[in-house]
Amino acid sequence: MENNTNVSPLTPNQLWQLCQTVQQIAKEAGAFIRSEAGKVAAADIQLKYHNNLVSYVDTTSEKMLIGALQPLLPDAGFIAEENTIARNDNQPWQWIIDPLDGTTNFLYNLPSYAVSIALAYKNQPVLGVVYEVNRSECFWAVKGGGAFLNQQPISVSNTATLPDALIGTGFPYYDFAVVDKYLPILQTLMKQTKGIRRFGAAAVDLCYVACGRFDAFFEHSLLPWDVAAGSLIVQEAGGKVSDFSGKRHYLFGKEIIASAPGLFESVLPLFEQWHKG
């Protein structure tokens, strides 16, 4: 029998127990974020790069997460959005964290922002937690164990046709070279679906696919901390996840499609021209 070297050395029960701890850690960071809502002054906001904002809330939340996660697996590395700890890609275990997904929403007092934590083994997520702060909704999954919202099992929708589908997406906000590729896809979806929504927090959008609030989601220019936890939660809820070519390069490939399984074959062909020309 072929040995699968990517199988996690932690048992399913160990991952399950670890996930319970990670949920509490995410909620504690979420409580801090909630306590700071509406308090951030303009002088406290920095521009990392075009249209990408950050404040002390992001960095403090990230330090809280790292401080709590580090003792759980002392040999694990971190891939963290705000770089408050040195990135270490040499370790087989990696915590992939976004301390505040949807920073712009948070700073403008708009709903939909979250703490996202994933644990990956050899670049394969095996644990994912997304805590949506406004509604106190904790989405979570362990590889092979199903997906949950708080303590209730969740599953993707049964939608199988575009006319019955509600689609989530994110618009380009810094990589405008892809705008012209977006427009034909959006035009098709405007005409052929129940509608398109853009909430501004990809981790939350993915979880909304996982629990059937969206039937599909796609976005370009996302980074590992945006998708690592949510993509696992979608798959454990019975959904399909790929890059725009239908392959599995969505974690580091900056593009993702997440969909109810019956709808996936209708969504994927919309992107067949993406990498051409």
Residues of the chain with pLDDT under 70: 1-5, 48-52, 277
Question: 131: which strand partners?
Answer: 115, 138
Q: Has residue 2 been placed in a domain?
A: no
Q: Which domain holds residue 187?
A: 162-271
| C-alpha torsion sign, points 226, 232, 233, 238 | positive
Give the pLDDT of residue 3.
44
Confidence (pLDDT) at 84 = 84
Question: What's the CATH code of the domain at 59?
Answer: 3.30.540.10
Task: Answer yes or no: are the C-beta atoms of 150 and 138 closer than 8 Å.
Answer: yes
Question: What is the model's pLDDT at position 44?
Answer: 75
Please give the full DSSP string across 140-203, using - where no structure is assigned.
Answer: EEETTS-EEETTEEE------SGGG-EEEE---SS-GGGHHHHHHHHHHHHHHSSEEE--S-HH
Last residue of a domain, one of 100, 127, 154: 154
The reported pLDDT for the residue numbered 88 is: 76
Residue with tokens 């974020």: 33
Both 93 and 48 in a single domain? yes
Q: What is the CATH number of the domain that holds 240?
A: 3.40.190.80
Using CA of residue 255, residue 83, residue 129, residue 91, what is the dihedral sign? Answer: positive
User: Does 6 map to a domain?
Assistant: no
Would 7 be classed as within a structural domain?
A: no
In whole angstroms, give the CA distance from residue 265 to residue 259. Answer: 9
| Its pTM surpasses 0.85 | yes
Q: Quick one: pLDDT at residue 52?
A: 64
pLDDT given for residue 48 in this prediction: 67
Predicted confidence at residue 1, as pLDDT, reads 33
The answer to whether residue 4 is domain-embedded is no
| Same domain for 117 and 56 | yes
